[in-house]
Amino acid sequence: MVTPEKIIFVLKEKKMKLTLAESCTGGMISALLTAVPGCSEVYGGGICSYSDEVKNQLLGVGNETLTKLGAVSARSASEMAKGALILFGADVSLSVTGFAGPDGGTEKNPVGTVFVACATQEDLILRRFVFKGNRAEVRKKASVRALQILEEMLARQ
């Protein structure tokens, strides 16, 4: 089972810097990681990019991506992760965007849909999930799955 402590340990071992671009999780992943003593050695910061404007202006998510595909899409998650890498000068980034509910879903992407992207300069993992539960449960499940994807990426490095 992945834990924030294990993630921090592996990042330190690999001498890698992490950044986050969180939307629907609202900083929950950052809170999990920063609860670990010594986290600042590998995590310099991230961004809670809840609005489309922040996704566009700070993370470089394209206007076309946002208007044609929406903020909750595979491309948005990918562009968020890649933008965070650049913005923070990190070695690995993790992004999460989704519909935590109770509103916001579509027929194609119902409430509970979450896209997670994990990027390095050379690699990208991108996954789509549909979680069941209320808003708090969706956010928690998304945060746990995102850490699992980060662990998977770190194992590749």
From first to last of its 157 residues, the chain has per-residue pLDDT tens of 999 999 999 999 999 999 999 999 999 999 999 999 999 999 999 999 999 999 999 999 999 999 999 999 999 999 999 999 999 999 999 999 999 999 999 999 999 999 999 999 999 999 999 999 999 999 999 999 999 999 999 999 9
SS3 73: coil
Q: Are 149 and 118 in contact (CB under 8 A)?
A: yes
Query: What does the pLDDT read at residue 88?
Result: 97
∠ at Cα 10 (45, 124), nearest 5°?
70
Q: Rg of the Cα trace of the chain?
A: 14
Distance CA 136, CA 134 (A): 6
Which domains, and CATH codes, for the chain?
Answer: 4-156 (3.90.950.20)
The sign of the dihedral angle between the CA atoms of 54, 135, 103, 148 is positive
The HSE-up count of residue 87 (CA atoms within 13 Å, CB side) is: 24
Distance CA 146, CA 154 (A): 12
Would the pTM of this model clear 0.95, i.e. be above it?
A: yes
SS3 130: strand
Write out pLDDT tens, residues 116-137. Answer: 999 999 999 999 999 999 999 9
